[in-house]
Structure 1
């Protein structure tokens, strides 16, 4: 069979093949050549796939550049390409060998690790953006999309807990409970299984609110930090939480990490599954 003079660059990978493709483009740009075709063959995990692409490549003016990390598949690809006089370039092995010498341990040889890390990172970013968007009851529509809904009166750690749980890739919305402000109807429309109520000791809360007022340059004796107001709010919130039928956590003596751990334990006991596929 007559071989086409166009250069066919076979990009072969046991992951998505993006690394090998970028390397190929960088390399070919150094040559004065326009007649070439880069073809990506991702997720190669069987010898049969290698045989098929080699069979195609041997009838062309071709070169194979690959990022296969599994030794058995890599060896088979090199053997078949060599047998058919096809030029072949291993992108990863020289790099892995260099790192092995410096680090002193063998590589995992697991395909697509960087892609998995990227996906994990973007899930976290998405969860953080969600927590910011639906913080402090800004948009009640987010309650139906949330993995966890936190509710409680002011200064019961709703926002810090939302952000902490977001770093664990969970979508958290929070709703403040204020006697003068109607509870959003969406809070009653979602399952109580994903709602956590937050409460606190009234005298501890007085201290926290007084410090908050000072930070804002306001007088510490304002109604916001009075025992009467705080008891009224706590009683109101308790009634709402009973109506919702949700678990309630006292955060007065707990660090954010401890409260978050209790929340996750509650969901673990329920066998609840979150939108990221995790179950606790």
Structure 2
């Protein structure tokens, strides 16, 4: 029977202290900073009081009452000058530190960029929205890698099609980091592409190709990816590779799909070309960050 590890207990001389996190947004920034800072003090443990979305005098009144009842450090991110001033005055009366945690960074940015700060509450969450868009794109891309979930392909922004080792997966992953939902379909000599591929209307479909010689060399170093039915020679033999690429190009041309030769392109360059094609398809609307 495996012994369970002992729970981590506070140090016997632990100092507990109140910390009030006051924000006109979600308070996540303050919480992260508090955890990072308090971790540097082994015998200190914060009692965290979170006051998020504080944007009115009535809301601030409740916060000031809690601070008065449990004095301690006050960390805040508030844009409204009048609310900030009220908080600072009250903290001075109670003789507790009030720390505007973003001010040093904002002041440094202001001096360096020679630009005025925005006074928009929660402006940083435009970045959060972009972050969640990228996460959604990544989830979609992982679920639609290598021909998976073909029933859902019409929700993709981009579908990459190509024979084995034409950089489909890494290109899709790069696109996902840019917020693009990217799926990829492998062209396998022993089976036909999924019929769903030829009925798509929403996604941009791009064919990827490469030099037969270069592709043969790449495949020769990737023998661990062969299926049980394939022999090593059949997988990287140059004539077979050339035949695969020729058939793929004919299909791309028949369907009217744009073609990208990845032979001398890095993944970043291939993705950049895909983004250019996507922008043109959307009429110049490039939303990717």
Using the size of structure 2 for normalisation, the TM-score is 0.64
Distance 1:214 1:12 in 2: 55
1:180-219 to 2 correspondence within 5 Å? 180-191=190-201, 194-213=204-223
Distance 2:210 2:101 in 1: 59
Using the size of structure 1 for normalisation, the TM-score is 0.66
Distance 1:39 1:210 in 2: 58
Bigger mean CA deviation after superposition, 247-256 or 185-194: 185-194
Please name the residue that 1:74 is paired with: 81
- Contact 2:77/2:102 (<8 A) preserved: no
Do the aligned partners of residues 93 and 240 (structure 1) sit closer, same or farther apart at CA in structure 2, a change above 3 Å counting?
same
Unpaired segments ≥5 residues, structure 2: 1-19, 35-44, 69-73
- Contact 2:212/2:238 (<8 A) preserved: yes
Unpaired segments ≥5 residues, structure 1: 1-9, 30-37
Residue-by-residue CA offset, 1:121-178 (whole Å, 9 max, x unaligned): 4433333333222111022123122111100111111011111112212211100112
Distance 1:79 1:68 in 2: 13
- SS of 1:151's equivalent? strand
Please name the residue that 2:270 is paired with: 259
1:9-48 to 2 correspondence within 5 Å? 13-17=23-27, 42=53, 44=55
Do the aligned partners of residues 212 and 114 (structure 1) sit closer, same or farther apart at CA in structure 2, a change above 3 Å counting?
same
- Contact 2:137/2:179 (<8 A) preserved: yes
Distance 1:278 1:88 in 2: 48
Please name the residue that 1:151 is paired with: 161
Distance 1:88 1:196 in 2: 65
Aligned residues: 247
Distance 1:94 1:142 in 2: 45
Q: What RMSD over aligned residues (CA atoms) do the two structures have, in Å? A: 4.5
Bigger mean CA deviation after superposition, 126-135 or 199-208: 126-135
